[in-house]
């Protein structure tokens, strides 16, 4: 009987004993959200802009826009399926624009600005499989569009 009582007492001590972290896990805060630098989510972290604009890039960018973007986006401020592009280079950083073009799914899942656009337009932008050099050409075209409308 004493052995049974001793055994039960030991089991009670082990069952009620605290963990080795001294209860700190309950008071630790969650890791801070990454700082939004306005560049979006993706491999584009720095974009060197041309001054003056490269007209060959502008022409290639317009061809890609006509093929992959124009069905849902206008070059004015008018929203069709997606938002209009007028002023996009003034509202967004070049890196954000290129990341949105090349890394659409991750941007819509994690970037607050992209998520706000999704809430506004109610339609996910499909991944168009645009290469980095093509995205840079599209950016040059957007810069040209914004400069011509001033």
CATH number at residue 83: 1.10.760.10
Structural domain total, the chain: 1
pLDDT tens, N- to C-terminus, the chain (150 residues): 556 555 555 554 455 555 555 444 444 554 445 567 899 999 999 999 999 999 999 999 999 999 999 999 999 999 999 999 999 999 999 999 999 999 999 999 999 999 999 999 999 999 999 999 999 999 999 999 999 987
pTM of the predicted model as reported, rounded to 2 decimal places: 0.76
What span, in angstroms and rounded, lies between the C-alpha atoms of 132 and 22? 50
- Do the domain assignments include residue 73? yes
Question: Could you tell me which residues come within 8 angstroms of residue 69 by beta carbon, excluding any fewer than 6 positions away?
Answer: 128, 138
What span, in angstroms and rounded, lies between the C-alpha atoms of 26 and 43? 36
Structural domain harbouring 82 = 49-150
- Do the domain assignments include residue 142? yes
Backbone angles phi, psi at 79, to 5 degrees: -90, 130
What span, in angstroms and rounded, lies between the C-alpha atoms of 139 and 13? 66
- Do the domain assignments include residue 76? yes
């Amino acid at each position: 009987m004493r052995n049974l009582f001793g055994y039960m007492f030991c089991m009670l001590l082990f069952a009620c004993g605290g963990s080795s972290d001294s209860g700190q896990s309950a008071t630790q805060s969650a890791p801070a959200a990454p700082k939004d630098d306005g560049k979006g989510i993706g491999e584009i972290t720095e974009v060197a802009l041309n001054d003056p604009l490269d007209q060959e890039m502008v022409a290639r960018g317009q061809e890609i826009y006509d093929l992959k973007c124009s069905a849902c986006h206008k070059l004015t401020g008018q929203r069709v399926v997606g938002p209009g592009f007028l002023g996009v280079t003034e509202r967004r950083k070049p890196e954000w624009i290129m990341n949105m073009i090349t890394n659409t799914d991750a941007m819509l899942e994690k970037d607050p600005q992209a998520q706000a656009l999704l809430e506004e337009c109610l339609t996910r932008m499909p991944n168009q499989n645009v290469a980095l050099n093509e995205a840079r050409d599209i950016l040059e075209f957007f810069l040209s569009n914004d400069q011509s409308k001033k």
